[in-house]
Protein backbone atom coordinates (compact mmCIF):
# COMPACT_ATOMS: atom_id res chain seq x y z
CA UNK A 1 0.00 0.00 0.00
CA UNK A 2 1.43 3.36 -1.05
CA UNK A 3 0.77 6.24 1.35
CA UNK A 4 0.68 9.76 -0.09
CA UNK A 5 2.75 12.37 1.68
CA UNK A 6 3.01 16.12 1.40
CA UNK A 7 6.26 18.08 1.40
CA UNK A 8 4.50 21.21 2.65
CA UNK A 9 6.55 23.76 4.51
CA UNK A 10 5.50 25.02 7.94
CA UNK A 11 3.73 28.31 7.44
CA UNK A 12 2.54 30.98 9.83
CA UNK A 13 -1.22 31.04 10.55
CA UNK A 14 -1.32 34.84 10.37
CA UNK A 15 -3.37 36.73 7.81
CA UNK A 16 -1.62 38.44 4.93
CA UNK A 17 -1.76 42.20 4.48
CA UNK A 18 -5.07 43.42 3.04
CA UNK A 19 -5.13 43.05 -0.75
CA UNK A 20 -2.46 40.31 -0.78
CA UNK A 21 -3.19 36.70 -1.56
CA UNK A 22 -1.17 33.67 -0.51
CA UNK A 23 -0.16 31.71 -3.60
CA UNK A 24 1.12 28.15 -3.77
CA UNK A 25 1.88 25.74 -6.57
CA UNK A 26 1.29 22.06 -5.83
CA UNK A 27 2.98 19.38 -7.95
CA UNK A 28 1.06 16.10 -7.86
CA UNK A 29 1.55 12.50 -8.92
CA UNK A 30 -1.47 10.25 -9.38
CA UNK A 31 -2.26 6.58 -9.65
CA UNK A 32 -2.14 5.26 -13.20
CA UNK A 33 -5.28 6.20 -15.11
CA UNK A 34 -6.50 8.68 -12.45
CA UNK A 35 -5.15 11.98 -13.83
CA UNK A 36 -8.46 13.33 -15.13
CA UNK A 37 -10.46 12.16 -12.10
CA UNK A 38 -7.97 13.74 -9.67
CA UNK A 39 -7.78 16.95 -11.73
CA UNK A 40 -11.58 17.33 -11.69
CA UNK A 41 -11.75 16.70 -7.93
CA UNK A 42 -9.00 19.26 -7.26
CA UNK A 43 -10.58 21.88 -9.53
CA UNK A 44 -13.77 21.64 -7.46
CA UNK A 45 -11.99 22.65 -4.22
CA UNK A 46 -12.27 26.24 -2.99
CA UNK A 47 -8.90 27.97 -3.24
CA UNK A 48 -7.66 26.01 -6.25
CA UNK A 49 -7.79 28.37 -9.21
CA UNK A 50 -6.30 26.11 -11.90
CA UNK A 51 -5.26 22.51 -12.42
CA UNK A 52 -3.02 21.58 -15.36
CA UNK A 53 -2.18 18.11 -16.61
CA UNK A 54 1.45 18.26 -17.69
CA UNK A 55 4.25 16.28 -19.27
CA UNK A 56 7.34 15.79 -17.14
CA UNK A 57 8.20 14.42 -13.73
CA UNK A 58 4.71 15.06 -12.27
CA UNK A 59 1.20 14.41 -13.56
CA UNK A 60 -0.60 17.58 -12.41
CA UNK A 61 0.16 21.14 -11.32
CA UNK A 62 -2.41 22.97 -9.18
CA UNK A 63 -2.42 26.72 -8.55
CA UNK A 64 -3.73 27.75 -5.12
CA UNK A 65 -4.74 31.29 -4.08
CA UNK A 66 -6.20 31.98 -0.64
CA UNK A 67 -6.45 35.00 1.63
CA UNK A 68 -4.45 33.68 4.59
CA UNK A 69 -1.79 31.13 5.47
CA UNK A 70 -4.15 29.14 7.71
CA UNK A 71 -6.48 28.55 4.74
CA UNK A 72 -3.50 27.40 2.67
CA UNK A 73 -2.36 25.01 5.40
CA UNK A 74 -5.87 23.53 5.63
CA UNK A 75 -6.24 23.20 1.85
CA UNK A 76 -2.85 21.50 1.40
CA UNK A 77 -2.77 19.25 4.47
CA UNK A 78 -6.45 18.34 4.79
CA UNK A 79 -8.51 18.84 1.64
CA UNK A 80 -6.00 17.87 -1.06
CA UNK A 81 -4.92 14.81 0.93
CA UNK A 82 -8.53 13.55 0.90
CA UNK A 83 -8.63 13.35 -2.90
CA UNK A 84 -8.48 9.69 -3.93
CA UNK A 85 -5.81 8.79 -6.46
CA UNK A 86 -3.01 11.13 -5.36
CA UNK A 87 0.24 9.31 -4.61
CA UNK A 88 2.63 12.19 -3.93
CA UNK A 89 2.67 15.99 -3.70
CA UNK A 90 5.19 18.79 -3.40
CA UNK A 91 4.05 22.25 -2.35
CA UNK A 92 5.87 25.40 -3.45
CA UNK A 93 4.98 28.64 -1.65
CA UNK A 94 5.00 31.75 -3.84
CA UNK A 95 6.83 34.77 -2.42
CA UNK A 96 6.50 37.35 -5.17
CA UNK A 97 4.84 37.49 -8.60
CA UNK A 98 6.99 38.64 -11.50
CA UNK A 99 4.58 39.27 -14.34
CA UNK A 100 3.47 41.85 -16.86
CA UNK A 101 -0.15 40.96 -16.05
CA UNK A 102 -2.07 42.84 -13.36
CA UNK A 103 -2.96 39.70 -11.39
CA UNK A 104 -4.03 41.46 -8.20
CA UNK A 105 -6.71 43.42 -10.04
CA UNK A 106 -7.78 40.36 -12.02
CA UNK A 107 -8.20 38.17 -8.93
CA UNK A 108 -9.68 41.02 -6.89
CA UNK A 109 -12.73 41.47 -9.13
CA UNK A 110 -15.89 41.00 -7.09
CA UNK A 111 -14.02 40.52 -3.81
CA UNK A 112 -15.23 43.78 -2.21
23-33 pLDDT, tens per residue?
A: 999 999 999 99
Query: Which fold is adopted by the domain 1-14+30-95?
Result: Alpha-Beta Plaits (3.30.70)
What is the average per-residue pLDDT within 61-88? 96
| 43 vs 9, residue with greater confidence | 43
Domain definitions of the chain by residue range: 1-14+30-95
77-108 pLDDT, tens per residue?
A: 999 999 999 999 999 999 987 877 665 566 66
Confidence (pLDDT) at 101: 67
SS3 69: helix
Q: Looking at the predicted structure, is the pLDDT value of residue 74 above 90?
A: yes
Is the pTM value of this prediction over 0.75?
no
CA dihedral 6, 34, 47, 81 (to 10 degrees): -30
Amino acid sequence: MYVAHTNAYLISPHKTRPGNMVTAIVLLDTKRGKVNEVADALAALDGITEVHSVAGRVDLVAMLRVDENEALADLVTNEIRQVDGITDTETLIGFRVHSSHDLENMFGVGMD
